[in-house]
Structure 1
Amino acid sequence: MSALAVRVAGIGLWGPALAGWPASVAVLRGEAPADLSTTQKPSPPLLPPAERRRAPETVLFAAQAAVEACAAAGLSPGELPAVFGSAQGDIAITDYMCATLATAPFELSPTKFHNSVHNAAVGYWTIATGCRAASTALSAWTDTVGASLLEAAIQAHDTQAPVLVAVYDSAAVGPMADPIHHDCGFAFALVVDVDDPAAPGPRLVLEPLDGAGATEPDAAWARELRERNSSAIALPLLAALAGTTERRVRVAAGPGFVLDVTVRP
């Protein structure tokens, strides 16, 4: 793989202490405290009220970050190809499905079953936005952030057009809460485009790097949040995007495969 350069046209973010990108920049720079006990429930405006009420938490977090990134980029969500990544999908619904099938299988909710598939979030997104562009749902466990970013960058170069990438996870419940220590929701989204020196926005240069680990968050609160949600592995990258100087971060993108990302604000 050769280096890929992309421009970040828009950013969205939602999680504990991080209620939207503009409000999170100072926290990511270390200029404001991070209160991880402060979490507002997402309420993505593109989803009709009825859909918001029945949509699972994964959909709400993903859509909240995605709509913010599209608005920041000044682009219509209905026209953007989308890459949605999640390490686990919706664990709460998986737990419900397994428990109900084991105890009262005829009481299984069709709506819950509908929401149990891994691509539920991108499905809700494309229906709500009327998007007919290509959509991708992927999972690569703790490498999902890097794998999703790489997929979006490749698609942007292949099509010479912007691509939305959203990565999200929600809290684990039931027996799965023991091996998977997710206890909160978190999502971020980027609109990436081919590099254009005349256009605004930070630049990312992605290069393959073998035999090196991912960058650790600098702040204690970020390290804590990363342990509470796999998608928060993106925090070093987000902190670099919030900064004012060039930085390099490493993001795992697969077994033994790391992206060396140069961030140029």
Structure 2
Amino acid sequence: MSGLFGYLDGVAALGPGFDNWAMLAAQLTGEQPWQDAPTRLTAPPGLPPAERRRVGKPVRLALALGFEAVAMAGADAAELATVFTASGGDGDNLHALCTTLAEPARLVSPTRFTNSVHNAPAGYWGIAAGATAPSNVLSAYDASFSMGLIEALGQVQGEARRVLLIAYDSPYPGPLAALRPLPEPCGVALLLSPERGPASRARLAVVGGETAAEGSTGIAALDALARSAPSLRALPLLAALARGEGGRYGLEMPLGGLLVVELQPCV
């Protein structure tokens, strides 16, 4: 993994208390206080009306993140390879399916089944963006962001192409919520390029043979939020980006240990 790197051309964020990257960046720099509030999810752009009505929170979340990062970079969404990473799936759909299967009739809705699969957001992205480029979908529990970043940077380097990484989490209703507590729907997106360009904000690189602490945003409430959802483990890294700071940051990996990522602002 050492030697993987890419240039960060677009950033997106959506979650409790922030509607976009600009709002979160202002909170991370201390310009605005972070205040907990329900995540505001809008109808996903680019989908036919019937599909917009059927999709659940993860799809609306993932598409909002993807299109925000693409717009910041001035990229063509249809041409981008994508990596979707989430610690779980559509909790609301899963709850509804389990409830239905516990009933005598077991009449499972085809729409619910379609939207319950882990790659549903990737499929809807292809429809909304008109994208035909490769799309990978993965899950690594609490290490989902770091593994998604490795996959995205691997494609950036191995295929010399721009890759859109979308990391997101959506909570489960009870009783599953007691076993896997997650906050409001939340996530981040990073558009990574193999070469520095006019839109590049920073260089991200996986550093081998190094150690680093998990890092902190320096804001207790946002640190607590970062610990509450795998996709938000990126917040210390994004705090440095918002402040124009460089450094090395440890991201949670499967089975323990940290992935050390170096951020160097483009000035």
Shorter chain as denominator, the TM-score bin is over 0.9
Query: What amino acid does structure 2 have at the position aligned with 1:246?
Result: G
SS at match of 2:188: strand
| CA distance in 2: counterparts of 1:190 and 1:264, whole angstroms | 15
Q: Secondary structure at the match of 1:152?
A: helix
Listed one character per residue, the Cα deviations across residues 71-91 of structure 1 (whole Å, up to 9, x for unaligned) are 111111111110000001112
Partner SS, residue 42 of structure 1: coil
Q: TM-score, normalised by structure 2?
A: 0.92
- 2:127 matched to 1:127? yes
- Any idea what the Cα deviations from partners look like across 1:120-148, whole Å, max 9, x if unmatched? 11111112212111110100000000000
SS at match of 2:102: helix
Contact 1:14 1:186 in 2 (8 A): yes
Shift of 1:113: 0.6
Q: What CA distance in whole angstroms lies between the structure 1 residues aligned with 2:86 and 2:50?
A: 24
- In 2, distance between residues paired with 1:209 and 1:85? 25
Relative to the length of structure 1, the TM-score reads 0.92
Partner of 1:26: 26
Q: Is the 8 A contact 2:80 2:163 kept in 1?
A: yes
AA aligned to 1:233 is: R
Partner of 1:101: 101
**Secondary structure, counterpart of 1:215 in structure 2:** coil
Among the aligned pairs, what percent are the same residue? 36
Gaps of 5+ in 2: none
Q: 1:10-49 to 2 correspondence within 5 Å?
A: 10-49=10-49
1:217-250, Cα deviation, whole Å (9 max, x unpaired) = 4312113323443322221122122121212211
SS in 2 for 1:60: helix
Q: Report the Cα offset of residue 257 of structure 1.
A: 4.2
Partner of 1:231: 231
Shift of residue 209 of structure 1? Answer: 5.4
Deviation for aligned residue 1:3: 2.2
Letter in 2 for 1:243: R
Q: CA deviation at 1:104?
A: 4.4
Q: Distance in 1 between matches of 2:168 and 2:53?
A: 19
Distance 1:109 1:240 in 2: 45
- After superposition, residues 208-247 of structure 1 pair within 5 angstroms as 208=208, 214-247=214-247
Change in Cα spacing, 1:250 to 1:227, as seen in structure 2 (3 Å) is closer
Q: Which amino acid aligns with 1:191?
A: L
Consecutive unaligned residues in structure 1, runs of 5 or more = none
Q: Output the aligned Cα RMSD.
A: 2.0
Instruction: Map 1:167-206 to 2 at 5 A.
Output: 167-196=167-196, 200-206=200-206
Structure 2 distance, partners of 1:11, 1:121, is 18
Measured after TM superposition, the shift of residue 105 of structure 1 is 4.1
CA distance in 1, matches of 2:202, 2:249: 14
The CA distance in 1 between the partners of 2:211 and 2:260, in whole Å, is 11
CA-to-partner distance for each residue in 1:172-201, whole Å, 9 max, x for gaps? Answer: 112210111113100110110113377632
Give the Cα–Cα distance (whole angstroms) in 1 for the partners of residues 264 and 141 of structure 2: 27
Cα distance between partner residues in 1 of 2:166 and 2:255: 21
Q: Which residue of 1 aligns with 2:60?
A: 60
For 1:261 and 1:212, locate their aligned partners in 2 and report how far apart those are by CA, in whole Å: 9
Alignment-derived partner of residue 72 in structure 2: 72
Aligned partner of 2:143 in structure 1 is: 143
Task: Give the match for residue 84 of structure 1.
Answer: 84
Tell me the equivalent position of 1:262.
Answer: 262
Partner of 2:156: 156
Contact 2:170 2:186 in 1 (8 A): yes
CA pair 79-104 structure 1, distance change in 2 beyond 3 A: farther
1:191 is paired with a residue whose SS is strand
